[in-house]
Amino acid sequence: MGLLAVATIMAGCGSEPPQPVKVDAKVDAAARLKAAKDAKIRNAAKVKANELGQIPVLMFHRVIPSPQTTDDRTPKQFRADLERLAKEGYVPVTAAEMVTGKIDIPAGKYPVVLTFDDSSPSQLTLNAVGVPQKDTAVAIMKEVAAKYPGWRPKATFFVTRDLFGKTTTEEQAQALLWLKDNGFEIANHTRDHLNLRSISQAQVEEQIGSIGKTIEQLTYTKPVTIALPYGAQPKKKDWALNGKGYKHKGAFLAGYTPAPAPFSKSFDAAGVPRIKVMEKKGDCAQFCSEAWLDWLKKNPDMRYTSDGDPKTVAYPKFKQPYLRKSFSAMSLPY
């Protein structure tokens, strides 16, 4: 197969002899593929794509007018937290999208994962027709998305049996289904919020499996990720990922650094670091969100930057040794 004789083209005036053109179909297809790949490489280089870079996974708790601990944010602070991210070119993805490598954001943008722990009513309260109450986390996420084109209300809610303060099965279903229908991820934070480090394997599996089952019964979807209460891993860290009735793709910690990209060898699905959201004060002078976002801004070569194509993993060639082997078929070094 291969050589195609293409019809000769007659020049109108007859001043030149007709030239027979021969094209090898396979060579032609290969050349087109190479041209397409070269274009992708040029685009990746143009936006300085680095899909082996670090991703901030931010950890929120309550959003309340009068904070009681440094884990709480006021609605005003939370709005400012999101606006900073939107202005600096971050685009939210869920924890599940991150750990499974489905990071679909525009070229030149940076992924951020917004996570909410403990399923408090300050995160999600709906009125009788399903409209979020003013100043709840979901209401503020929607407001900011309306104000900043390109920003989107996307986040992961790590829930316990508190289920946003809802006690009847119907109300619990309304809350969780609203999250699901609005593109948010509902994930596992164990039933009773115990320290998993100090309990047996059977107890760990009961704590994780039971709330997982509740979520599945209410939403027809199994959680893909888990956040460990207090960031404490069980005696064997794999118990958080795999157990009776559950299989998680990522277990999230409670500190203190940006997370490695899922395509990087440094990524550990059983312990994905998160960053507490807080100004540079006291213990947070170096290891909370304001400090890390400043650091990522000053060190753009360390930050995950998308090439805009979720089917490729683009990065400067020099970083090649850090690519996880399982992603080599998608790799696009430049």
Among 72, 118, 185, 206, contact with Zn ion (rule: CB under 5 A): 118
- By beta carbon distance, the residue nearest Zn ion is 117
Pairing of strands 250-252, 225-227: parallel
- In the complex, the smallest distance separating the C-beta of residue 226 from Zn ion, rounded to whole angstroms, is 11
What is residue 125's three-state secondary structure?
A: coil
For position 72 contacting Zn ion by CB under 5 A, the verdict is no
For Zn ion, which is the closer residue by CB, 90 or 252?
A: 252
207 to 236: interface string for Zn ion, x by CB under 5 A? ----------------------x-------
Phi and psi angles of residue 229, each rounded to the nearest 5 degrees, phi first: -55, 135
What is residue 169's three-state secondary structure?
A: helix
Q: What is the dihedral of CA 135, 136, 139, 143, to 10 degrees?
A: 40
Span of 117-125, 132-140, 194-202, 243-251 interacting with Zn ion by CB under 5 A? 117-125
For Zn ion, which is the closer residue by CB, 40 or 274?
A: 274
For position 117 contacting Zn ion by CB under 5 A, the verdict is yes
- In the complex, the smallest distance separating the C-beta of residue 180 from Zn ion, rounded to whole angstroms, is 21
Q: Which residue has the tokens 């924890």?
A: 95
For Zn ion, which is the closer residue by CB, 97 or 117?
A: 117
- Residues with Cβ within 8 Å of residue 12, at least 6 apart in sequence: none
- Residues with Cβ within 8 Å of residue 23, at least 6 apart in sequence: 3, 4, 6
Size of the site for Zn ion (CB under 5 A): 3
CB 91 within 8 A of CB 110: yes
Span of 38-46, 98-106, 110-118, 285-293 interacting with Zn ion by CB under 5 A? 110-118
Q: What are the residues facing 164 on neighbouring strands?
A: none
> Which residues of this protein are in contact with Zn ion, per CB under 5 A?
117-118, 229
